[in-house]
């Protein structure tokens, strides 16, 4: 979840009415967000990622004002449709970063607080919701420094003075040496004749997009009019971002004017300022939430969440605000009404029960086998399913069979590279870490193991047990194993086996209906050395999935 | 014979051999009187006292701090796991200590000015440093019980993490022949100690007096074989589900990303799908989605809802599930699918739960695990409401002693979305344990009039930290050290 940090003084200024910290925190919590801290200078709020319109002080204050019924009009409109400036879009950009939107904002009085808020917001928005500027990037320029018309296209290497730079630099240089160039460089496809998205006016480069603006059009405290460009890979989100920004500037008392985007002679105006309308029956709202609300109350709740709403027969007509990205179907509005109503006020209603509950058969049996193992004096261990080749094979004196284990692609931990194929190595790890504890030590585990066989993934449940004791020997584990199998009424034969993890002549396979279902034996001293175990150790492992046919598998346990 | 001497001999006769502590608690006459009696008794040979020079190891404040967290060299290894470190950047005192010992212990080496981990360093990073385990033992037991480790003591001493003190101490006390004779003379008639077959048979016990046992004598407590605390906890949760009419379901761990992400309407550019949060597989790298009809329908819903492309290939990347909601998703699609094909004899509402391990690509420490348990529930029925959802969750988690509350939240697959919180007596605040909501129509592909689906998912380990007082770290749960398993309490 993103956390936003707002200048508390600016935030209170925007709210326009006085409210104490406690009350403010309460209102924000009711909206569904969490205040992580309020200080003298800052307020930190954790916000759900579906509401980028609240990532800044203007949007957040708008939401609080709405919620506290301090808003009279919920509509955001741009009165004049005449474009303030033209952006023509070239052909070459279409394959790289196809979509662009924009606007002009006049009559602003940018001071330190409001400018800092804008810059922080745009960075946060483009890094999170804009997926590190790939999907959406925003540029902001001082309009008075621009000589239109503008051109948006992809260009070969050119030079300009980047924001806060001292001298002109080539695009290619900025990509390599500038902090932003390094961070966002992979949004521009590489190549021998690399083409760079850029915005130009008649005097030259305004921005290398989505990397850095020119120093020439830098916005600073006192700037009164802005040109905003929004570019990206998704037409819908680029346009929607323009709508959201226009709403934001209108709330900042700016006067927003449209720009014309011209491609192949055809012009469209931006921002589009599209607002969706949805009709939802009151009964549906009430039935989804599980409370009786009433039509008047629904309208008031809708207003709290920023929707203009009207009664239309037995339905409510909702006008979805221009700045909202996340309203996809009527369920999204239901949620907003529920939030405004307050989750805490929703009374529990029981669902009638028609059917008996049940555990899976395999769970029941596993639970019984665990009881049996406890009866034999083994405590239950639990281990991670992750392992590495060294633990699973090498320490066990085994060679890894090819193409049989599931391998991780991108683990952050070098000690985690694959999924375990058997459980005994995990248990020996437990014993190795317990060498200072009282003997005898007996542990077991029933859980999953992972193998690939015949191009199929086998997620098999194994039972494994180990026992360490100065007097432990082959017969002790044979006794437990045979006791267990006969208690479970499994018919079995034992055959001498050869397994490198165990002492030769002290290991046996257990077969049932001519399938090897498991093995037991006395662990090889070299294996014990490898795990730091100092006393004789015995163990067994049985494939329960195979034994009970919990899934189609023709696989016998491998050592 | 003085009565204190008699008391001491009495206790010693009932036991082969005792430590001073056991003798003091057994005789219940106080330390000074026991020592006085022992002096007299040993002078006249009635008892044998074995004395040893004893080394006592005490942990220092610094040692204690490391025992509770990590040794400086381990902290350094944790940083090294994230990447190599330039030696020149190691500035703090603790960083330099860590560097010194990592080199000395051959956990790391310098190559071209940067510090890298050795193979041994890798193992230690994963399993923890033996020195710290010993510090831990010393902190808890006042000594290290692993004899083979004693060679490390001088090293810990040199690091001022422990202090070693020597003094003479009575180790064991045993009654001698003279002592026995003395007390027999005093006691007169013989009493019976261990009951046996010949005494029981044929009434031979008649007329025999049994020697008294001291009920307060110290014995070593017996260790029970126990189920793992997570099994006990998950059994409790399962019982709550079954009691409310839920049927258990389970599903694969290894999945194509379709079932973990796409089928739950998580957009393909969602940050949770990125490599750093999710375990993708090198082998197998791709897995086919068998249910191609569902795959196509969901693909269309993505294009419409998220206004962009949807890539089939990306939905077939092999991965480890990041939530058991993949199991719920399979179940929802299978039921909705057969409804769409005309099957209508379902006894609604249908209730299912699953419990299993899920995986997040995290750096492991005491707070974070790469695999942990999650439980998911779904209810498929007509006209289900948030009020129904809240009722169900309060009942399930109330039954394991949790106070539950709800807060709005966001997950791509539910709307309305709910954060589930439980009250922690330990911190006096609400703690997030999972998410819930009503499944989006884009996922079910069926109108609300026909069906709605309530769903939730909750991490399990956190309950254990909440309800067991002596578990401090999540990673202990999967360490399964014998001593830890043996010290579990039943909850």
What is the Cα–Cα distance from A264 to B282, expressed in whole angstroms?
A: 46
Are A351 and B391 an interchain contact pair (Cβ–Cβ within 8 Å)?
yes
Residue B349: asked if its preceding bond is cis (omega within 30°), the reply is yes
Buried b (16+ CB within 10 A) or exposed e, B84-118: ebeeeebeeeebebbbebbbebebbeeeeeebebb
The pLDDT of residue B61: 85
Span B145-182, pLDDT tens digits: 555 557 788 888 888 888 877 777 788 899 888 888 88
What is the Cα–Cα distance from B446 to B336, expressed in whole angstroms?
A: 8
Interchain contact B251–A (C-beta under 8 A): no
**Region B53-70: what's the mean pLDDT?**
82
CB-CB neighbors (< 8 A) of B482 in chain A = 379, 430-431, 434, 437-438, 441, 443
Span B422-470, pLDDT tens digits: 998 888 899 999 999 999 999 998 887 889 999 999 999 888 888 776 6
Interchain contact B381–A (C-beta under 8 A): yes
Span B228-273, pLDDT tens digits: 999 999 999 999 999 999 999 999 999 999 999 999 999 998 887 8
**Residue B465 or A375, more confident:** A375
**In the structure encoding, which two tokens stand for residue A10, read together?**
């600016």
The domain over range A85-270 is classified in CATH as 3.50.40.10: yes
- Tally of residues, chain B: 491
**Residue B361 or B190, more confident:** B361
CB-based contacts of A234, cutoff 8 Å, min separation 6: A99, A135, A136, B307, B308
Q: Which residue of B has its CA nearest to A130?
A: B269
- Torsion angle of alpha carbons B297, B300, B301, B307, nearest 10°? 170
**What's the topology of domain A277-345?**
Phenylalanyl-tRNA Synthetase; Chain B, domain 1 (3.30.56)
Q: Which of A328, A384, A437 sits opposite B482 (nearest CB)?
A: A437
Residue A87: asked if its preceding bond is cis (omega within 30°), the reply is no
| DSSP, residue by residue, A117-166 | HHHHHHHHHHHTTTTTTTSEEEEEEEGGG--S-EEEEEESS-EE-BTT-S
Mean predicted lDDT score pLDDT of chain A? 93
Residues 462-521 of A with CB under 8 A from B: none
Span A336-373, pLDDT tens digits: 999 999 999 999 999 987 789 999 999 999 999 999 99
Q: Are strands A42-46 and A3-7 parallel, antiparallel or unpaired?
A: antiparallel
Per-residue H/E/C for A287-332:
HHHCCCCCHHHHHHHHHHCCCEEEEECCEEEEECCCCCCCCCCHHH
Q: Is the pLDDT of residue A375 over 90?
A: yes
The reply to whether B3-54+167-203 and B59-165 are identical in fold is yes
Closest by CA position to B407, among listed A345, A346, A32, A46: A32
The reply to whether A3-67 and A277-345 are identical in fold is yes
Domain range A3-67, CATH class: alpha beta
Q: Which residue of B has its CA nearest to A437?
A: B483
Are B228 and A338 an interchain contact pair (Cβ–Cβ within 8 Å)?
no
The domain over range B230-253+321-486 is classified in CATH as 3.40.250.10: no
> Which residue's entry shows tokens 């480069």?
A205
Distance of CA A351 to the CA centre of its chain: 32
Long-range CB contacts for residues B149-153, cutoff 8 Å, separation at least 24: B149/A436, B153/B57
**In the structure encoding, which two tokens stand for residue A123, read together?**
């960075």
Span A205-264, pLDDT tens digits: 999 999 999 999 999 999 999 999 999 999 999 999 999 999 999 999 999 999 999 999
The pLDDT of residue A385: 95
Span B339-393, pLDDT tens digits: 888 888 888 899 999 999 999 987 766 566 788 899 999 999 999 999 999 999 9
Q: Which of A351, A370, A377 sits opposite B388 (nearest CB)?
A: A351
Distance of CA A38 to the CA centre of its chain: 27
Q: What is the SS3 assignment for A526? A: helix
Three-point CA angle A337, A60, A238, nearest 5°: 90
CB-CB neighbors (< 8 A) of B282 in chain A = 407-409
Per-residue H/E/C for A211-267:
CEEECCCCCCCCCCCEEEEEEECCHHHHHHHHHHHHHHHHHCCCEEECEEEEECCEE
What is the Cα–Cα distance from A176 to A205, expressed in whole angstroms?
A: 19
Domain ranges of chain A: 3-67, 85-270, 277-345, 361-548
Q: Which residue of A has its CA nearest to B137?
A: A436
| Domain B3-54+167-203 architecture | Orthogonal Bundle (1.10)
**Region A113-126: what's the mean pLDDT?**
96
Q: Which of A347, A358, A408 sits opposite B387 (nearest CB)?
A: A347
**Residue A161 or B464, more confident:** A161
Domain ranges of chain B: 3-54+167-203, 59-165, 230-253+321-486
The pLDDT of residue A554: 36
The domain over range A361-548 is classified in CATH as 3.30.930.10: yes
Q: Is the pLDDT of residue A557 over 50?
A: no
CB B262 within 8 A of CB B298: yes
Closest by CA position to A136, among listed A254, A228, A250: A228
**What's the topology of domain B59-165?**
Arc Repressor Mutant, subunit A (1.10.10)
């Amino acid at each position: 979840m993103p956390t936003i940090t707002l200048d508390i003084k600016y935030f209170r200024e925007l709210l326009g009415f006085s409210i104490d910290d406690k009350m403010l925190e309460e209102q924000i919590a009711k909206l569904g967000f969490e205040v992580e801290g309020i200080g003298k200078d800052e307020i930190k709020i954790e916000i759900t990622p579906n509401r980028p319109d609240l990532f800044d002080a203007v949007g957040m204050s708008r939401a609080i004002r709405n919620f506290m019924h301090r808003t009279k009009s919920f509509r955001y409109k741009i009165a004049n449709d005449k474009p303030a400036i033209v952006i023509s879009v070239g052909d070459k950009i279409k394959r790289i970063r196809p979509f662009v939107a924009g606007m002009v904002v006049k009559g602003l009085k940018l001071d330190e607080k409001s400018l800092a808020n804008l810059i922080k917001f745009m960075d946060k928005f483009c890094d999170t919701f804009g997926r590190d500027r790939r999907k959406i990037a925003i540029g902001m320029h001082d309009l008075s420094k621009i000589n239109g018309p503008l051109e948006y296209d992809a260009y070969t290497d050119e030079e300009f003075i980047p924001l806060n730079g001292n001298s002109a630099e080539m695009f290619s240089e900025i990509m390599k040496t500038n902090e932003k160039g390094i961070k966002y460089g992979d949004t521009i496809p590489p190549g021998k004749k690399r083409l760079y998205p850029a915005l130009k006016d008649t005097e030259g480069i305004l921005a290398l997009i989505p990397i850095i603006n020119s120093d020439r059009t830098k916005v600073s405290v006192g700037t009164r009019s802005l040109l905003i460009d929004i570019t990206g890979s998704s037409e819908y989100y680029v346009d929607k971002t323009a709508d959201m920004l226009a709403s934001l500037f209108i709330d900042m008392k700016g006067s927003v004017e449209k720009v014309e985007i011209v491609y192949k002679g055809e012009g469209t105006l931006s921002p589009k300022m599209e607002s969706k309308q949805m009709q939802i029956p009151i009964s549906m709202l009430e039935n989804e939430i599980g409370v009786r609300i009433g039509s008047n109350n629904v309208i008031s709740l809708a207003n709290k969440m920023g929707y203009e709403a009207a009664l239309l027969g037995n339905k409510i007509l909702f006008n979805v605000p221009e700045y909202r990205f996340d309203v996809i179907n009527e369920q999204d509005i239901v949620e907003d009404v529920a939030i405004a109503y307050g989750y805490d006020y929703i009374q529990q209603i029981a669902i009638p029960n028609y059917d008996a509950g049940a555990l899976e058969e395999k769970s029941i049996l596993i639970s019984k086998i665990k009881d049996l193992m406890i009866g034999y004096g083994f405590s239950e261990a639990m281990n991670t399913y992750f392992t590495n080749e060294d633990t699973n094979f090498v320490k066990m004196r085994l060679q890894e069979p090819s193409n049989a284990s599931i391998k991780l692609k991108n683990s952050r931990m070098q000690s985690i590279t694959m999924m375990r194929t058997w459980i005994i190595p995990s248990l020996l790890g437990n014993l190795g870490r317990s060498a200072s504890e009282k003997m005898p030590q007996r542990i077991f585990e029933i859980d999953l193991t992972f193998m690939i066989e015949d191009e199929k993934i086998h997620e098999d449940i194994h039972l494994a047990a180990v026992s360490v004791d100065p007097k432990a020997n082959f017969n002790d584990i044979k006794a437990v194993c045979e006791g267990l199998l006969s208690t479970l009424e499994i018919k079995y034969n034992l055959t001498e086996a050869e397994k490198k993890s165990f002492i030769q002549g002290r290991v046996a396979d257990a077969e049932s209906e001519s399938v090897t279902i498991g093995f037991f034996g006395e662990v090889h001293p070299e294996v014990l050395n490898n795990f730091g175990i100092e006393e004789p150790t015995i163990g067994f492992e049985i494939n329960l999935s195979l034994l009970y046919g919990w899934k189609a598998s023709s696989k016998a346990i491998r050592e | 014979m003085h009565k204190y001497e008699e008391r001491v001999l009495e206790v010693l006769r009932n036991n082969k051999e005792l430590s001073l502590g056991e003798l003091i608690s057994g005789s219940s006459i106080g330390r000074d009187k026991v020592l006085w009696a022992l002096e007299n008794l040993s002078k006249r040979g009635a008892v044998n006292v074995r004395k040893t020079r004893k080394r006592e190891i005490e942990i220092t404040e610094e040692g204690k701090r490391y025992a509770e967290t990590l040794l400086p060299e381990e902290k350094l290894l944790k940083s090294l796991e994230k990447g190599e470190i330039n030696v020149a950047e190691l500035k703090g005192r603790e960083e330099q200590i860590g560097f010194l010992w990592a080199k000395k212990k051959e956990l790391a080496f310098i190559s071209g000015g940067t510090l890298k981990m050795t193979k041994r360093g890798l193992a230690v990073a994963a399993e923890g440093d033996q020195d710290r385990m010993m510090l831990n033992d010393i902190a808890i037991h006042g000594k290290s019980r692993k004899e083979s480790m004693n060679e490390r003591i001088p090293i810990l001493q040199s690091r001022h993490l422990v202090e070693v003190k020597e003094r003479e101490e009575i180790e064991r006390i045993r009654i001698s022949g003279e002592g026995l004779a003395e007390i027999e003379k005093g006691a007169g008639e013989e009493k019976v100690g261990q009951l046996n077959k010949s005494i029981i048979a044929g009434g031979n016990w008649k007329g025999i007096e049994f020697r008294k046992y001291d009920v307060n004598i110290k014995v070593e407590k017996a260790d029970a074989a126990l189920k793992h605390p997570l099994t006990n906890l998950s059994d409790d949760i399962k019982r709550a589900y079954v009691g409310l009419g839920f049927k258990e379901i389970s599903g694969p761990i290894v999945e194509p990303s379709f079932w973990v992400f796409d089928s739950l309407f998580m957009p393909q550019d969602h940050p949770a799908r990125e490599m750093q949060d999710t375990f993708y597989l090198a082998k197998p790298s791709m897995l086919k989605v068998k249910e191609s009809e569902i795959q196509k329908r969901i693909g269309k819903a993505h294009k419409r809802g998220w206004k962009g492309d949807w890539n089939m290939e990306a939905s077939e990347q092999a991965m480890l599930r990041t939530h058991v909601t993949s199991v719920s998703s399979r179940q929802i699609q299978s039921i909705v699918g057969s409804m769409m094909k005309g099957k209508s004899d379902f006894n609604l509402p249908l209730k299912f739960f699953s419990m299993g391990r899920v995986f997040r690509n995290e750096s492991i420490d005491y707070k974070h695990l790469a695999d942990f348990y999650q439980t998911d529930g779904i209810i498929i029925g007509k006209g289900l409401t948030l009020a129904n959802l809240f009722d169900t969750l309060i009942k399930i988690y109330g039954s394991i002693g949790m106070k539950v509350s709800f807060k709005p939240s966001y997950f791509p697959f539910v709307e309305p979305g709910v954060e589930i919180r439980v009250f922690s007596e330990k911190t006096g605040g609400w703690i997030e344990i999972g998410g819930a909501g009503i499944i989006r129509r884009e996922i079910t592909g069926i109108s609300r009039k026909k069906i709605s689906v309530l769903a939730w998912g909750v991490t399990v380990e956190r309950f254990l930290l909440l309800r067991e007082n002596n578990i401090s770290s999540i990673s202990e749960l999967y360490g399964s050290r014998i001593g830890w398993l043996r010290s579990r309490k039943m909850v």
